[in-house]
Amino acid sequence: MNQTRTAEPPTGVTAPLRTLLRWCLVAHAGLILFSLVSFPLVVGRRAPGWVSTQLWDAVYGWGMAWTGPLYIAAGFGVAAAAWLLRLGLGRAVVSMTVVVFLGFAVELMGTTTDLPFGPYSYGGLLGGKILGHVPWVIPLSWFTLLYASLALSLRLGMGRLGTALMASAGLLAWDVLMDPAMSVAFPFWSWDVDGVYFGMPLINWVGWFATGVLMAGAVLVLHPLEKLRPLALDRLPVVLYVLNGLLPFLLAILGGLFWAAIIGAGAMGAFLFITLRSDAGARS
């Protein structure tokens, strides 16, 4: 197999980036595992008799306030380090910044004008908000999942348009599972309308798909396809994509949203099946 060469980061930067990737991956997976255990066993429950109420309230309050933001930030650290290691510095920093900025801009527009997702607002469980509307971790989350979806889509060996559309489909599949879990089962955000899909208006999916195409298109303008192809060689995008489906799947089950869990897991599974069945994008 002939791998497409890319401009690697300077030697003095490569080792710290690899270390950052490893530790962020451990933190990301560990915090997701912690959430998978704590939601069914701890969240919404009173302090057991052998624990003081004050200690329980303090730890519980810290966990509710910080676990969500920290696991999202750690996931971004994984994606960012992998992005820079594969694509080098320079344009990779620019493209990452562009995606994060677009994520913020679209979310700010969404929470202030109801476009392109519909009327919604974030609660306080995802940490502090930029300009009082967008939790600071949300733009980071957009980049993390775009990295995973785009890298998986590159495996199909399509052109720019096909790759952008497929990457957006991967983002959309994740939202099919995530939105009911995190707006109904456990309200990280809320809809101001009674939408047809577990409270969510269908325009949200239109907005997600359009945003995904915009972000993937921006990346594909800044990086030639042949420079992006090596992303398809890594298993890390698969790991990130699956990891970020586990918590919403559990929340949907715990919230009694069984059809949302089935439909969402099916959408994510279909995307993985389509992209993993081919390694054309990993060849040159």
Would you say 118 and 204 are in contact if contact means Cβ atoms under 8 Å apart?
yes
> 203-222 and 91-113 are packed helices; what angle lies between their axes, rounded to 10 degrees?
160
Return d(Cα 270, Cα 250) in angstroms, integer: 19
**Averaged pLDDT for residues 174-185:** 96
Residue 251 has which token pair?
């929340």
pLDDT at 4 over 70: no
pLDDT tens-digit readout, 185-235: 999 999 999 999 999 999 999 999 999 999 999 999 999 999 999 999 999
pLDDT at 270 over 90: yes
Residues 12-49: b if buried by 16+ CB within 10 A, e if exposed? eeeeebeebbeebbebbbebbeebeeebeebeeeeeee
pLDDT tens-digit readout, 60-117: 888 888 999 999 999 999 999 999 999 998 899 999 999 999 999 999 999 999 999 9
Question: Which is more confident, 269 or 50?
Answer: 269
pLDDT tens-digit readout, 135-165: 999 999 999 999 999 999 999 999 999 999 9
Q: If you compute the radius of gyration of the chain from its CA atoms, what whole number of angstroms results?
A: 19
Which pLDDT value is given to residue 174? 98
Would you say 203 and 118 are in contact if contact means Cβ atoms under 8 Å apart?
yes
pTM: 0.92
Beta strand 129-130 with 120-122 is unpaired
Residue 138 has which token pair?
């949300």
The residue among 71, 267, 116, 273 whose CA lies nearest residue 177 is 267
pLDDT tens-digit readout, 27-69: 999 999 999 999 888 887 787 878 888 887 888 888 888 999 9
pLDDT at 275 over 60: yes
pLDDT at 22 over 80: yes
DSSP state of 189: E
pLDDT at 1 over 60: no
**Averaged pLDDT for residues 2-24:** 75
Which pLDDT value is given to residue 8? 62
Which pLDDT value is given to residue 284? 44
For the chain, the structural domain boundaries read 89-282
Which pLDDT value is given to residue 279? 60
pLDDT at 5 over 60: no
71 phi, psi to nearest 5 deg: -70, -30
The residue among 1, 20, 163 whose CA lies nearest residue 9 is 20
**Averaged pLDDT for residues 255-268:** 97
